[in-house]
Every structure is written in C-alpha cells, then in structure tokens.
Amino acid sequence: MFLKREEIVKKIEKSIKKSERFIGEGELATYIPELANVDPNGFALSIVTTTGDVYDFGDIDTVFSMQSISKVISLIMALKDNTIQDVFEKVGTEPTKYKFNSLIPIDDKPSNPLINAGAITTASLIVGKDVDEKFQRVLNLVKKLSDSEKITFLKEVYSSEMETTDVNKSIAYYLRSKKIFSLNADEVLDLYIRNCSIGINASELAHLGAVLANGGSDLVTGDEMVSKEAVKIVLAQMASCGMYEESGEFLLNVGIPSKSGVSGAILGIVPGKCGICTYSPRLDESGNSIRGKNLLKILSNDLNLNIFL
C-alpha cells in the first residue's frame, strides 16, 4: 500500500513532534571551538528516497561540517584506491567500547575505519600527488554523491580544529610509529581534518545516503558511483561501528546503519529505501546528537525502517 506524499509528510511531522521533548538535552562540542558557534537548538531533517523523492524539514539551509560522517567517504575512497585486502590489513572491522579519539583501540592496528585512528588510516590510503589533490578528490566524490556543487570547505572549522587537535596528532604519529603508514604524519592528519571540515546541509547529506541506499548507483541514471562491494562494506561498518561506543545499543533500538559527527548530524541509510539526515547539535557523552538519535529511533518505528523487521 503506497501512501500519498501529503500523508507521508504528516507522518514525518508527527515523528518530529515526538522528538521535541529532547530539545535542550545535551551539550555542544566545544573541544573544537568553532563548533560552539552555532544555534544549539538548530534542527533539520531530510529524507531522500532511492526513487528521488525529497522530504525536507526545519533549517534545511543550515550548513554544518561533516566531521566523523566524512569517515564514510574516506573509507569509500580508500576502497576505490586499494584492494579490500590492503585496506583491512591496515585497519580492523571490530567495534570498540572506547571513545572515538581513544588511542587504546589501536593495538596492532585501529579497530575499525569509523573511529579517528581508523579514519586517519583510511586517509593515508587515499591516492593523490599531494594533500590538495587528495582532498579535491574527496570533495569531488561528496559533490557527486550529494548531487550538489555547493559543497564547501569550512576554513574556520578546519583552522579551529587544527589548533586544538593534539590528540589526533598523537594518534597520527603513533600510527606511523606502528608502520600503519609511512607518509608524513602531519600531511595525513591535515587531509583527515580537511575531510572533517567539509560543509554540507541535511538535504545534500540525505541525498548522498540515498545513493548508498541505492547500492551506490545514481538515483536517476542508475550509473554506478560507488561499487556494490564498497557499499556492502561501508553499510556493515556503519551498522556495527558508526555510533561509537553506543553502536550496539543504537542498532538494537533503531536498526538503521548510521554514522554520527560531532557537529550534530547523523546520516542513516536504509538499504533499498532511503537516506536520512538529522541535524541537532546538542550531543551526548559519546558525541552523538541526542535529538538526532532519538528522532531516528522514532522514525524507524513510525515509518517501519528497521532493517531487521
């Protein structure tokens, strides 16, 4: 039974209403000073279906930095530029109970590509003659997948993080000492932070998610943008590791492969159905948006999006 557009819109509006009780809960990420310069109660939701229908709500024009959601793109790029075996020789596939920027889950290699150590590693696997060329390739992929030329580089966010990124610097140097990569550690870190500073809005990000929900193919032409093999890996890693140390609980409650970022966005991907982006910058202790994660749970229930049901 197919619902009419107005009926779907009404249903989503009801779900958004239910999420209003989480407004005001949580704190902004202040460890990157520039991330604190936003409206703490800003809110946006976008759902883009694999058939190209777009449902936008709230501050849809608000541009935020991708932060850790860029780890998904970095993994896709690493898988484009290397064999699967070569990628997973350098980075593991297991969830971790430690914080996203912890040095503990490195052991012989980072436990998965969606924590900082893992994404610094995938950044080291991206091909290009210098950091500028590598970053341009990442940016071009984001533009292509989000079907938007407006994707920007947020210089203020980048500079702000560069000034305060001692922990990531330690991680990059530690990885190099472990021979996970042999490139210049500062350059690898530079690319990682640039990736985190890509500016996007909720609708563009949901479109990017819809392409992945569509098996990596363009929503209109069906042309392959990301290989099916890479999509399969990325979604599996999002499901098991995308919400940091809350990944297991989130998968159990929500059942949607998702990736969060400390700017307050969460990207959810429902295979064969849609990409979803929530934006609400107040975070819990793990760095996940409180209203966002709860809205995804509500939507999963109300719109029947749990991949296990």
Contacts with ligand GLN in 108-127 (CB under 6 A)?
A: 116
In whole angstroms, the minimum distance from the beta carbon of 168 to ligand GLN comes to: 5
Residue 101 makes contact with ligand GLN by CB under 6 A: yes
Q: Which is nearer to ligand GLN, 16 or 277 (CB)?
A: 277
Residue 262 makes contact with ligand GLN by CB under 6 A: yes
The tokens of 229 are what? 């093999």
Is 286 in contact with 96 (CB distance < 8 Å)? no
Q: Which is nearer to ligand GLN, 161 or 204 (CB)?
A: 161
Specify the 3-state DSSP secondary structure of 289.
strand
Q: DSSP assignment, residue 149?
A: S
Residue 254 makes contact with ligand GLN by CB under 6 A: no
Judged by CB under 6 A, the number of residues near ligand GLN is 11
To which H or E segment does residue 293 belong? Answer: helix 290-302
Q: DSSP assignment, residue 2?
A: P
Residue 137's contacts (CB-CB under 8 Å, 6 or more residues apart) are: 77, 126, 127, 128
Q: Which is nearer to ligand GLN, 157 or 219 (CB)?
A: 157
Binds ligand GLN (CB under 6 A): choice among 287, 292, 294, 305? 287
Binds ligand GLN (CB under 6 A): choice among 46, 49, 67, 294? 67
Give the C-alpha separation, 28 to 39, whole Å. 9
In whole angstroms, the minimum distance from the beta carbon of 262 to ligand GLN comes to: 4
Binds ligand GLN (CB under 6 A): choice among 46, 49, 50, 68? 68
Q: Which is nearer to ligand GLN, 219 or 239 (CB)?
A: 239
In whole angstroms, the minimum distance from the beta carbon of 111 to ligand GLN comes to: 15
Residue 75 makes contact with ligand GLN by CB under 6 A: no
Residue 261 makes contact with ligand GLN by CB under 6 A: yes
Nearest to residue 261, comparing CAs of 69, 64, 122?
69
Is 201 in contact with 48 (CB distance < 8 Å)? no
Backbone dihedral angles phi then psi of residue 47, each to the nearest 5 degrees? -125, 125
Burial of residue 80 (CB within 10 Å: 0-12, 13-18, 19+) is middle
Residue 100 makes contact with ligand GLN by CB under 6 A: yes
Give the C-alpha separation, 297 to 59, whole Å. 20
Contacts with ligand GLN in 179-238 (CB under 6 A)?
A: 196
Is 180 in contact with 193 (CB distance < 8 Å)? no
Binding mask 4-43 for ligand GLN (x = CB under 6 A): ----------------------------------------
Give the C-alpha separation, 121 to 141, whole Å. 19
Residue 138 makes contact with ligand GLN by CB under 6 A: no
Question: Which residues of the chain form beta strands (DSSP E)?
Answer: 44-49, 54-58, 64-65, 152-153, 198-200, 258-260, 265-270, 274-279
Q: Which is nearer to ligand GLN, 225 or 266 (CB)?
A: 266
Q: Which is nearer to ligand GLN, 151 or 189 (CB)?
A: 189
- Which residue lies nearest ligand GLN, judged by its C-beta? 68
Give the C-alpha separation, 262 to 282, whole Å. 9
User: Where do contacts with ligand GLN occur on this chain (CB under 6 A)?
Assistant: 67-68, 100-101, 116, 161, 168, 196, 261-262, 287
